[in-house]
Structure 1
Amino acid sequence: MKLHLAQFAGQNAFTGYGAGYVLVNGERFERSLIVLPDRLITDWTPRTSAELTEADLAFLATLAVDIVLLGTGARLCFPPPGLAQTLPRQGIGLEVMDSQAAARTYNILLAEGRRVAAAVML
């Protein structure tokens, strides 16, 4: 599916998605990544919620954002409760959803000028 939203001058936005991939600014990604308005982190290693570690979430806490959208692939899959509290304990919101919902929600929050990151597992 292609997403059609206002242009995000100089910012990273999701422009489409499908089974096993997302498009960011028209570029196709088929592995997990973190999307921020001003940069892409394409070497994020977890592919599923089961692979998430404390270190993965601690890294997300260093990104200077107010909210992290955790896209868990084709289906919603919550990380273990103790792990899920890592970001909220530091005052950072964490929303868990499937990766396609994370892409759509990221674009909406980006359009609102929010400091947001989408950590998408594919």
Structure 2
Amino acid sequence: MQIESASGTGPAITGFSAKGYKVEAGSFRGVYRALTITPDAVAEWDAPALETLSPESFADLLAIDPRPEFLLLGTGATMQRPAPAFIRALEARGIGVEAMDSRAAARAWAVLRGEGRWVVGALYPL
């Protein structure tokens, strides 16, 4: 699927398929099977099992300044809920968790960055 580009700055997810996510960041273009993304950077992600997620799984992602409003968590082809303890641990740090299937998360990234929202994302493969 092609995604219309957002007006926000930084990396943009411009499409996705079973092969991965198409990302553009300035002159850089790449395809990632799974990724983490911030308003300033994108990286390949060796995604652990969803049930093993912990705040430490995202230490670098959550350490950006200013602190992100929330983690946009794309859970793969279907929406799955992360462990309640993981959500509570991030909320205790003042960071919300928005979990949804990865297709919806890729589209939401474009909308949220277009609004200038300061969020981070982690998207599992489809």
TM-score range, shorter chain: 0.7 to 0.9
Match among 62, 68, 72 for residue 69 of structure 1: 72
The answer for unaligned runs of 5 or more in structure 1 is: none
Change (3 A) 1:27 1:88: same
| Correspondence list, 1:1-122, <5 A | 1-6=1-6, 8-9=8-9, 11-25=10-24, 26-30=29-33, 32-42=34-44, 44-63=45-64, 64-122=67-125
Q: Where does structure 2 lack aligned partners over 5 or more consecutive residues?
A: none
- Percentage identity across paired residues of the two chains: 34
Contact 2:7 2:113 in 1 (8 A): no
RMSD: 1.9
**Change in CA separation of 1:37 and 1:58 when aligned onto 2, cut-off 3 Å:** closer
**Corresponding residue pairs, total:** 119
TM-score by structure 1 length? 0.84
TM, length-normalised to structure 2: 0.82
How far 1:48 sits from its partner (Å)? 3.6
